[in-house]
Chain A
Amino acid sequence: MTFSLNTESESPARTTLHLHGRLDAQTFNDFDRAMLDVLPRVAEGGTVVLDLSALEYISSAGLRSIAMVRKSMRARGGNTLLLNPQPQVRKVFDIVKAVPLHEVFANATELDQYLDHMQRQITGAGPAGHA
């Protein structure tokens, strides 16, 4: 198996998924199927964090799968955040301008700060820009 998926700290508001191995034309179906299980459990407006630190490789098929996840989350008012992409993955993302740069975080600290910031915005100023 060249690809595997681990789900961590699953809660309706925030789910972190660890991607291992390669996400390519051979494995994207496994990922898609796994996401069909995971996404419904994520609450409206929840956040999915894809931890890419163990993802060695991605191809266009994997890009499409990630785009599908992001689309699906966006449709439900949620966010998809990418954590710590490795050089190859980062390079692919760069080439096809796959995701907005603010949704990609180099490490968990940056992500936590961002999430805290988001939390403050919601509690303080109320939800803005997110319907």
Chain B
Amino acid sequence: MLFRSIASRLSLWVLAGSLVVLAIAGGLLFYLVSGEILRQAHGEATALAGEAGARIEQRLARVADTSRTLATAMATRSGDAEALLRDALARNTDLSGLAAAFVPAADNPPESPFVNRQDDGSLGWRDMRKDPKPYWEANWFRVGLHCAQGCWQRHFHSLSRRRELVNYSAVIQRDGQAIGLINADVSLDWLNLILGELRKPPGAYAFVLDEGGAYLAHDNPAMVGQRGDPALLRALAQPGTARVRLAIAQNPQAGGKPVWIYLFPVEGTHWSFGLAMPEAMIYAGVRQAFMRVLLLGLLALLAVAAITLLATRRTLAPLGTLATRAEQVARGALAFELPRARFPDEVGRLTHAFDRMRRELALHIAELTRNAKEQQRLASELDIAHQIQTALLPGEHYIDARCENFELRALLRPARAVGGDLYSYFMLGERRFCVMVGDVSDKGIPAALFMARTITLAKALAPRARSPQHLLAMLNLELCRHNENCMFVSLSCGMLDTSTGELVMSSAGHEPPVLCDADGARLLELETGAALGLDEDARYPARTLWLQPGQTLMLYTDGITEASDTDGQMFGVERLLACLRQAASCASAELADGLLAEVDRFAAGAAQADDITVLALNWHHALADGNAHMLDLTIEASMDEVFATLERCEASLRAQGVLPAVREDIRLVLEELMVNMVEHGRDDGLQHRIGLHLRRVEDAVVVELHHDGRPFDPLQAPAPNLTGDLADADVVGGLGIHLVRAMASELSYSHDEQGNHLLLRFLHPAPAESGHDIQPEH
């Protein structure tokens, strides 16, 4: 929270920056000042050490003086030795004991008195001549005799007096001969006392080092007798060294901190006086002063930071409000109060700009909302369009439920929500199954509408169509109407006889179908007409083939062959055929799904560019029973076609075991009627077509005839005038119709906009009754 405000960050930065500057400047100043302080401290400490050393010197000199005076006096008054010693000891409290030790000789006093100060202050006495150990053989005595000017001896521990002592020896001379020594004992306690009495700065301590480098006296009694620090001893070894710095003080009381030691050689001895000053103590004053300054500086900086904080806060307060408002804007709220811009500075300009932005934003959002609603509406409409288009397509799977003769699988996958591909299938009558696959030019909504138009028209027109080519022709005419945009649709249409497997295919500029069976897959070469919707006069040829059990007809759109992979390579017909050849079985679902999966694998990663449709029609087997259907044909109304058809009828009827007499009757009736149709049709100069449907029911053969020519009801034709001899009549007419009426067991006629429809029935006896012709009229 603290760092989210510019003001607090700014003041913190100011504080931190100033602190750094202050610390650096303070440190530099401290460094400079501390050198000076050290020099000053050295001077003071050296002076102090000199003063203290001089005082010790003075006290020691008094001891030496007393000793030498006694020695001089003793040379003449050796008899009063004890008295002199007592007197001198009484007067000089520095002394702990005095001895007059004579060299044992004839003319020397017989006793060597030793007077010492007891612990209770009284003076003790003894004759050293009576000591069990002869003193004249002791080392101190011999050394003392050679010390003509008097000298300080090595300190020693007196067992009798239980203390450390040091003595000064002065030679007693008589006639230039050393006859003895005055030996003055000084207690080291005394020396320590002197050190303690010295005026020292607090924390400092003093010591005396003997000639061997051991502490003779020390403010810390525990140090007495120990050897001095090697660094200290090295400094001592170099004459004239006044001070030395020990990085770690030897004295445990100094706590291991660095100390400065100021040395002063004690005159008249080989001792050195030392004053130790802890370094921290030297700098303590200046450090304290600096700490105060720093503290003050810190307080000042805190104050500056606080002022900066307040000033920045106050200056940037509108910014905070703007930030809050901007967050509101982000949440979509645009109605709010803005802070008043007090100055035309950056904040003021920002406030104005913000206000303007908010107004503009509100307008934009309103527009965007409108657009989004519009988009949403379009998307929803597109979604509905997709559903409607999907509803136009029959299911993906169809099994001929009545006789299970065939199975169909169709898949359509639009590239966008709606597309221009189509497929459809439906039954026409009882046994014709119509199937189609098409592809509208272009994509998207126009294509989808055109597709809807095509599929709806195809369904509406199909019942009138006798053949796929007829259906294509009718569809083409319809689609050419008002097709200013020149949209077109390629369409492949097939009509399957669901009983026999006879398939008539016709194509309007569509991809060639593929026929798959155990031998592999091959393209079905079809002569195709123009795509639907372009040329009103287009004609569509047809091809008839007989599906064998297990064969599958594949219809597809160019979405399959033109599917591209990421490198822009197309799937192509070769891959299509290869894929179908590799299929394990010719089951329609397997082929269609497998093909689509293969295309997906091929185009993995690439966007689907075109709608994809695939339809597989698998023929299982022909209808086993020979009942019912025999022929279902649509022919051109021409003599040649009529007679070719008569031959086919004959063959079918014979195959069905229809009796020759009935066969002949049917042939005659059909010939009369169809020839009539051909001749009547010639009147208007149009090309007409004849549809023929022949089937056998239980006790009869039923024939349906359709003709799209002008209405003609044979039932209404006048009966010919039969005189018994045709040659009597001038003009012979109406015979054919008369024969028809006579031979057909039943005849009915109807007419609608599609033309004439005739339904005829020829009684046919059950096989058991065969052998007798039925002659309905005689």
Give me the interface of A with B, judged by CB distance under 8 Å. 24-26, 57, 59-61, 63-64, 66-68, 70-71, 74, 80, 87-88, 91-92, 94-100
Q: Please count the residue pairs between chain A and chain B whose beta carbons lie under 8 angstroms apart in the complex.
A: 72
Ordered by A's residue number, 13 sampled pairs between the chains whose C-beta atoms are within 8 Å are: A24-B671, A60-B672, A60-B735, A63-B726, A67-B732, A70-B725, A71-B727, A87-B661, A88-B661, A88-B668, A92-B739, A95-B777, A99-B726
User: CA separation between A15 and B672, bound complex, in Å?
Assistant: 31
Q: Decide yes or no: A57 and B639 within 8 Å by CB, A88-B661, A95-B777, A100-B724 being known contacts.
A: no
Q: Are A98 and B672 in contact (CB under 8 A)?
A: no
Cross-chain contact A98 with B726 (CB below 8 angstroms) = yes
A63 CB contacts on chain B under 8 angstroms: 726, 732, 735
Tell me if A98 and B736 are in contact (CB < 8 A): no
- Chain A nearest CB from B246 CB (Å) reads 147
| Given the contacts A63-B732, A64-B732, A70 and B668 also touching, CB distance less than 8 Å | no
Q: In the complex the two chains form, what is the Cα distance from A24 to B675 in whole Å?
A: 10
Point out the residue from B639, B643, B667, B735 that lies within 8 Å of A64, measured CB to CB.
B735
Asked whether any CB of chain A lies closer than 8 Å to the CB of B778, the reply is yes
- Closest chain-A Cβ to B571's Cβ sits at a distance in Å of 52
Least distance between B44 CB and chain A CB atoms (Å): 156
- Across-interface contacts of B724 in A (CB, < 8 A): 97, 100
Bound-complex Cα distance A68 to B735 (A)? 14
B671 touches A59 (CB 8 A): yes
Partner of B722, one of A70, A71, A74, A96: A96
B727 touches A59 (CB 8 A): no
A59 contacts B726, CB within 8 Å? no
Asked if A61 contacts B675 (CB within 8 A), the reply is: yes
Q: Which 3 A-B pairs have the closest CB atoms?
A: A67-B726, A60-B736, A60-B735
The contact string, 1 if C-beta is below 8 Å from chain A, for chain B 718-745, is 0010111111010010011011001100
- Per DSSP, chain A at the interface is helix
**Which residues of B have CB within 8 Å of A70?**
725-727
By a CB distance below 8 angstroms, the chain B residues around A96 are 720, 722, 726, 735, 738-739
CB distance from A123 to the nearest CB of B (A): 27
Docked pose: A63 CA to B722 CA in angstroms: 13
Shortest distance between the CB of A78 and any CB in chain B (Å):
12
Interface residues of B in 727-769 (CB under 8 A from A): 727, 729, 732, 735-736, 738-739, 742-743
Tell me the chain B residues, 673-705 only, with Cβ under 8 Å from chain A.
675
Complex Cα–Cα for A119 and B664 (A): 38
Shortest Cβ distance from residue A60 to the other chain B in the assembled complex, whole angstroms? 4
What's the nearest-Cβ distance from chain A to residue B747, in Å? Answer: 15
Size bracket, chain B contacts? 20 to 34
B725 and A97 form a contact (CB under 8 A)? yes
Is residue B773 contacting chain A, with contact meaning CB distance below 8 A? yes
Expressed in whole angstroms, the Cα–Cα distance for A97 and B667 within the complex equals: 20
* Residues on A with beta carbons closer than 8 Å to the beta carbon of B720: 96
Task: Check if B775 is an interface residue, CB within 8 A of chain A.
Answer: yes
Q: Is the interface of B mostly helix, strand, loop or mixed?
A: helix
CB pair A59–B773 under 8 Å, yes or no, is: no
Q: Are the CB atoms of A25 and B671 closer together than 8 Å?
A: yes
Query: CB within 8 Å of A: which residues of B?
Result: 639, 643, 661, 664, 667-668, 671-672, 675, 720, 722-727, 729, 732, 735-736, 738-739, 742-743, 773, 775, 777-778
A95 CA / B736 CA spacing, docked (Å): 11
Contact of B643 among A26, A71, A74 (CB under 8 A): A26
Q: For B643, give the chain A residue with the smallest CB separation.
A: A26
Given A25-B671, A59-B668, A64-B735, check contact A91 B775 (CB 8 Å). yes
Other A-B pairs beyond A25-B675, A26-B639, A96-B739, 19, CB < 8 Å: A24-B671, A57-B664, A59-B672, A59-B736, A60-B672, A66-B726, A67-B727, A70-B725, A74-B727, A80-B727, A87-B773, A88-B661, A95-B739, A96-B722, A96-B726, A96-B735, A97-B723, A97-B725, A100-B724
The listed residue with most A CB atoms (<10 A of its CB), out of B639, B661, B664, B773, is: B664
Across the two chains, which residue of chain A brings its CB closest to B678? A25
Task: State in angstroms the CA–CA spacing of A100 and B720 once bound together.
Answer: 17
Q: Give A66 to B727 CA distance when docked, in angstroms.
A: 8
Nearest opposing residue in chain A for B738, CB measure: A96
Q: Do residues A95 and B639 form an inter-chain contact, with CB atoms below 8 A? A: no
Are the C-beta atoms of A95 and B738 separated by less than 8 Å? yes
Distance (whole angstroms) from the CB of B93 to the closest CB of chain A: 180
CB distance from B776 to the nearest CB of A (A): 10
Contacts of A92 in B (CB 8 A): 668, 739
- Hey, which chain A residues are within 8 Å of B667, CB to CB? 57
List chain A residues, Cβ under 8 A from B732: 63-64, 67-68
Determine if B664 and A88 form an interchain contact, defined as CB atoms under 8 angstroms apart: yes
Q: How far is it, in angstroms, between the C-alpha of A61 and the C-alpha of B723 when the chains are bound?
A: 18
Minimum CB distance partner of B668 in chain A: A59
Which residues of the other chain, A, contact B738 by a CB distance below 8 angstroms? 60, 95-96
Contacts A26-B639, A64-B732 hold; do A59 and B739 have CB atoms under 8 A apart?
A: yes
CB-defined contacts of A59 to chain B, threshold 8 Å: 668, 671-672, 675, 736, 739
The closest CB in chain A to the CB of B679 belongs to: A25
User: How far is it, in angstroms, between the C-alpha of A67 and the C-alpha of B729 when the chains are bound?
Assistant: 9
Quick one: which of B667, B732, B743 has the most chain A CB within 10 A? B732
Within the complex, which residue of A57, A91, A100 is in contact with B725, where a contact is CB–CB below 8 Å? Answer: A100
Residue of B nearest to A71 (CB): B727
Docked CA distance A71–B728 (Å)? 8
Q: How far is the CA of A96 from the CA of B738 in the complex (A)?
A: 8
Q: Is the CB of B722 within 8 A of A94?
A: no
Residues of B within 8 A of A99 (CB): 725-727
Q: Given the complex of chains A and B, what is the CA–CA distance between A70 and B727 in angstroms?
A: 6
